[in-house]
Amino acid sequence: MNLIDGKKIAAEMRNKLKVEVDIIKKKFNKVPGLTVILIGDLAPSQIYVRNKEKSAKEIGLKSEIIKYPKDIQEISVLNKIDELNNDATVSGILVQLPLPDHIDKKKIIERINPDKDVDGFHPYNVGNLSSGYESSVPCTPLGCYLLIKKIEPNLSGKKAIVIGRSNLNGKPMAQLLLKENCTVTITHSKTKDLKNECSKGDIVIAAVGIPELVKADWIKKDAIVIDVGINKTDKGIVGDVAFEEVSKVAKALTPVPGGVGPMTIVCLLKNTIECFKKSLK
Ligand code: GUN
Q: What's the CA gap between 80 and 114, in Å, rounded?
A: 16
Q: What's the CA gap between 219 and 208, in Å, rounded?
A: 16
Q: What's the CA gap between 240 and 84, in Å, rounded?
A: 37
Centre of ligand 1 to C-alpha 97, Å, is 5
247 lines ligand 1 (CB under 6 A): no
Domain of 230, in residue numbers: 139-261
The reply to whether 22 falls in a domain is no
Q: What is the CATH number of the domain that holds 57?
A: 3.40.50.10860
97 lines ligand 1 (CB under 6 A): yes
Per-residue pLDDT 10s for the chain (281 aa) are 899 999 999 999 999 999 999 999 999 999 999 999 999 999 999 999 999 999 999 999 999 999 999 999 999 999 999 999 999 999 999 999 999 999 999 999 999 999 999 999 999 999 999 999 999 999 999 999 999 999 999 999 999 999 999 999 999 999 999 999 999 999 999 999 999 999 999 999 999 999 999 999 999 999 999 999 999 999 999 999 999 999 999 999 999 999 999 999 999 999 999 999 999 98
94 lines ligand 1 (CB under 6 A): yes
User: Which of these, 99, 213, 224, lies nearest to 161 by C-alpha position?
Assistant: 224
Centre of ligand 1 to C-alpha 49, Å, is 9
How many domains does the chain contain in total? 2
The reply to whether 81 falls in a domain is yes
User: Which of these, 279, 10, 15, 258, lies nearest to 136 by C-alpha position?
Assistant: 279
| Non-local CB neighbours of 153 within 8 Å, separated by 6+ positions | none
**Cβ-based burial of 136 (10 A; exposed 0-12, middle 13-18, buried ≥19):** buried
Residues 238 and 172 in one domain: yes
| Pairing state between β 33-39 and 92-95 | parallel
Tell the residue nearest (CA) to atom 4 of ligand 1: 97
Centre of ligand 1 to C-alpha 192, Å, is 29
Question: In one letter, which amino acid is 17?
Answer: L
Residues 92 and 156 in one domain: no
Task: Give this prediction's pTM.
Answer: 0.97
